[in-house]
Structure 1
Amino acid sequence: MIKYFKYFLILAITVSCKKEQEVQEVQQIKKDSVIVESKVPIENPRDQVQHLFTANGGSILYLKNGEIKGQARFDTDGDFITELMKTETYSHYTDYDDYLIDKKNKDTTFFFNDFGRINEGWNILKGVSIDNPMQVVSYQSPKKPNPSQTENISETRLIIFDIETKTFADENSPEAETYFTVMDDWGYYSLELNENFEKLGVKTHYMKKRFLSLDLPNHKSITIDTKSKINGDNVLALLYKKGKMPIIISLIFGDNNLDEVKEYLK
């Protein structure tokens, strides 16, 4: 009887130890296990937007894939871009530097007026949110940046572009007289512009090289070819607030909207 009792006792202990070992193994597995969460990026609808136009009559969304969506009298409160994305695609467009063309009705829609000012109604252009109607959106960059021809600016500055120096065999020719008049005007107005921006606490930088490099947030930068058109216009001055996209400034101080300038400098 004692023999059988020992047998069952040993068997019970063996089973108990086995179960305990299994529990320990399970606990160890749980302890050593790492839960891997899915890191699939969630696409932001805003990233798909190339242009956005809003007005009292409705909203028009131009997507980067060429689609046009829109709806009349669309509510622009809250996350309306996500809702606007759900509307039906009614046409497609071709994008250019300063305008776009609707492929369906062949209409041309311009982004800027004759002075580089962004036309009213554009909230997003070229994927960039518009904070100021004089904000630089369209510009040319060198295909192969040349450091020897580039000036880098990282502090708030009024930036005045230079006028190309020319020589004439006959300084009394009509071409020469026109050029000298332009140079005189540039000298007068650039000095006046410099003086007025100094009153706003902004220093002036006179460009001597062709390419202008500006620092932007998140360690980004842009390089602008100052001899090419900016926002479709022949620009002679920019205002750069550290960390912001620059805005266009008229060389004639009185032609600038001082309220817009002060708002930009905040």
Structure 2
Amino acid sequence: MKKIFLILICLFLNKTGIAQDNPGNQSKLNVKDAVYYQDFVNMASDKPGLSRVDVYIQVPYKNVQFVKSSQGFTAKYSITASVFDSSKKKLIVEKTWNETINVIDFNMASSKENYSLSKRSFDLAPGVYSVRTLLQDKDSKQEAIGENIFTVKTYDQNISLSDILLISKSENSQGKNEIIPNISRNFPSAKTRIKYYFEVYVKDSIDTKSKFEYTVLNSEKNIIHKEVEERYLKTGSNKVLFTLQEFPFDL
């Protein structure tokens, strides 16, 4: 039996991106929290020699400008995700996309609970990159920028793991298990359990039974919780959705 270790909370605290107002822009949003949240997640790619990086952007409704429209109230914004080399001098790849939010009631637009979530994927060679994201509100012209150094993993071992994606909730729709990421990593109550998703990639030609050990660390990197489970792994990609049985922790 093979044993696989995952370290959870410490990774969550270190990898979350928070984007703030662009100080060079004179138009400011009146917000106390992050303008938007971002997360970058390593996954295996189907392209030889490359890895896939999923870029998630979560924008709270209250941080974009809604205007009266035929649908009720509408907000429009664009996201640009740019990947540079580690020196931040060479642009490797860039993607820009537009998002539109329509609500029928302005109370929905100002609610702290509502947000817009989008994702784009990049196939990159393993290495260290600088990832810059830019949000531009189409009506207020407000901009916010997030920038992080990110390491793209390699998946050339017999057994390898993707990054961990924190989950807000999972739903079963038409026989498919749909997951909704928790990019802001906020927990609405102490009764909310930690759910997360990751993938295990197996190159061995024989299915194997493995023991998974999930370890939670606090900010001082001390172990405060541990859970163990056994899973059968098949050759190829294995999707794992797991819920910690205990929460909250004293972080």
Q: Please say which structure displays the higher CA radius of gyration.
A: 1
Q: TM-score, normalised by structure 1?
A: 0.22
* Bigger relative contact order, structure 1 or 2 (CA pairs below 8 A, ≥6 apart): 2
Q: TM-score, normalised by structure 2?
A: 0.23
| Higher share of residues assigned strand | 2
| Higher share of residues assigned helix | 1
